[in-house]
Amino acid sequence: MKIYIFLVVASLTFGFHEKVVSSRNLSPYNAIFNFGDSLSDTGNLLASGALSFPVIGKFPYGQTFFNRSTGRCSDGRLVIDFIAEAYKLQYLLPYLALTKDQNIHPGVNFAVAGATALDTKFFIEAGLGKFLWTNNSLNIQLGWFKKLKPSLCNSKLDCDSYFERSLFVVGEIGGNDYNYAAIAGNITQLQATVPPVVEAIKTAINELIAEGARELLVPGNLPIGCSALYLTLFRSEKKEDYDGNGCLKSFNGFAEYHNKELKLALKTLRQMNPHARILYADYYGAAKRFFHAPGHYGFSSGALRACCGAPGPYNFNISARCGHIGSKVCADPSTHANWDGIHLTEAAYKYIAKGLIYGPFSYPPLKTSPYKIA
């Protein structure tokens, strides 16, 4: 899911990838196209000029790997970055920051931090319009892809050949749809939002297949009950509200409900499109490992407290978020799973990515990568 709300991103192609792109003929994928929100945005929100969450365009965001802020909502790389590395492709260029001299054939990122699966109209009618960070919903992102498609291939034969070795990543998306309802305190609306969110994802996948997509990876939601944001906003005095990992049972149960419905939708899509490979990415299961045993995965500072934030039970304060006055960053982000109370650290995203690429958290499995993530 994506309890991880605010968001943004900006990304460039780096020297490391310039040297390895020539090797991509060894990879089963020659291109990656990504749709989603802040969990995978590599610069679109930042490029859009949005001022709603400007701190992600500044340090300490990006400090771990890029040594500068890129608009990614983390201290470093995201899951989509590690997937690109595993298949020796350049980091995905954000669509809204494209220039004429850039090579888009290795793939493009359409994800926008704060994006929703449902269109703006849904939230306005539900009285949640004031919570929106961006109007670049999944449907808008699909429109960008369709607009860019003629620059990627010229004919049906050309497109079929090109997309045959392209990976389409649809999500994680839907987390913000739920975040807005939850933060507004509308729990009834939260539950009622699941069917239309899943239907929107299903519709998007069908549209991409109609456009030529042949392999699609569809992530589910994270265990949001383990998010510092939710743990802080919905703190309970009742011990029975928490599981053995210190996470809120009700919100993890909600994430499981979304994931169950999404998997059922993917099953239907496979029956409707036997010529396409539709994969489910189990973000929930991959992340639950380090929430259950953080020390085993190197998170000596735990998995629930934010690395960057302000004093509090989970080092998260909605009024002094990471990058704002009153916040501080930890000495070593790699010892934390949670980065800013909303998003995860590069170290946590790497474990999730490895679980997808090398197993066992992608169903069916992604095509084998001949390379290893460092």
Angle of helix 249-272 versus helix 175-183 axis, rounded to 10: 150
Position 57 pLDDT exceeds 90? no
How many helices (H) and strands (E) the chain has is answered by 12, 9
pLDDT, one tens digit per residue, over 268-297 is 999 999 999 999 999 999 999 999 999 999
pLDDT, one tens digit per residue, over 220-233 is 999 999 999 999 99
- Furthest CA-CA distance within the chain: 61
pLDDT, one tens digit per residue, over 110-137 is 999 999 999 999 999 989 888 888 889 9
Position 208 pLDDT exceeds 80? yes
State yes or no: is 343 an active-site residue: yes
Task: Tell me which residue has tokens 């390895």.
Answer: 20
Residue 133 dihedral angles phi and psi, to the nearest 5°: -95, -25
pLDDT for 24 equals 45
pLDDT for 25 equals 61
Average pLDDT, the chain: 92
Q: Which residues contact 355 (CB under 8 A, 6 or more apart)?
A: 282, 285, 286, 289, 361, 362
Lowest-confidence region among 47-51, 77-81, 176-180, 344-348: 47-51
Position 2 pLDDT exceeds 80? no
State yes or no: is 166 an active-site residue: no
pLDDT for 3 equals 42
Average pLDDT over residues 50-79: 89
pLDDT band at 53, cuts 50/70/90? low
Q: Provide the CATH topology of domain 15-286+346-363.
A: Rossmann fold (3.40.50)
pLDDT for 206 equals 98
Burial group, residue 62, by CB count within 10 angstroms (0-12, 13-18, 19+): buried
Q: What is the pTM of this model?
A: 0.92
Position 218 pLDDT exceeds 90? yes
State yes or no: is 340 an active-site residue: yes
* Residue in 327, 343, 362, 369 annotated catalytic: 343
* Residue in 38, 40, 69, 301 annotated catalytic: 38
Lowest-confidence region among 27-36, 128-137, 143-152, 174-183: 128-137
pLDDT for 184 equals 84
pLDDT band at 10, cuts 50/70/90? very low
* Residue in 258, 340, 362, 369 annotated catalytic: 340
Position 37 pLDDT exceeds 60? yes
Average pLDDT over residues 2-11: 38
Q: 196: cis peptide before it, omega within 30°? A: no
Neighbours of 14 (CB within 10 A): 12
Burial group, residue 44, by CB count within 10 angstroms (0-12, 13-18, 19+): buried
pLDDT, one tens digit per residue, over 290-324 is 999 999 999 999 999 999 999 999 999 988 999 99
Domain boundaries, the chain: 15-286+346-363
Signed CA dihedral, 331, 306, 336, 117: sign only: negative
Average pLDDT over residues 80-106: 97
pLDDT for 55 equals 83
pLDDT band at 49, cuts 50/70/90? confident
pLDDT for 33 equals 99
pLDDT for 51 equals 60
pLDDT band at 73, cuts 50/70/90? very high
pLDDT for 52 equals 58
Average pLDDT over residues 185-200: 90
